[in-house]
Amino acid sequence: MTAVVAGHLRDAARWLISGALVLAYIRTGRRNSEIRLLQWKQTGLANARARLLDVRGLIGTAETRDATPPTLEEKMKAWIREKGHDMGDVLWPLRVALTGREESPSPFEVMDVLGKEETIKRLDAAIEKLSNFSI
């Protein structure tokens, strides 16, 4: 019974996130001001694009494919440290790409609720926007 309720709650949460946390810069014509939100501090849009491409690749690996939010967070943070990146360089553009907002639940929780397909779709949209923007 608990598993059934949890499944329904997860479905409801996915629906709410998909409807409420839509990427604002993709839906509007204010690309210049909103796309800048993807960069962490003054690291630049090229860096944001590179980190999102890295995350996009990491999400498709076998070790992260079916990971729970805590496990995914642990693996991604270990990968960030291994690569020598600042946590904000990776997690900030990821948060913004997924939610379109500066403040949101953990990007790992958001990815869990959105599911892999929607997460990749939003990452791809952000990467495309950054690719089409004069950096």
Contact 44, 133 (CB under 8 A): no
Residue numbers of the domain that contains 85: 2-132
**What is this structure's pTM?**
0.72
CATH for 69: 1.10.10.350
pLDDT confidence band for 114 (50 / 70 / 90): confident
Pick from 104, 37, 98, 61: nearest CA to 76:
61
**pLDDT tens per residue across span 56-75:** 998 877 566 667 778 889 98
Residue with tokens 């952000």: 126
| Number of independent structural domains in the chain | 1
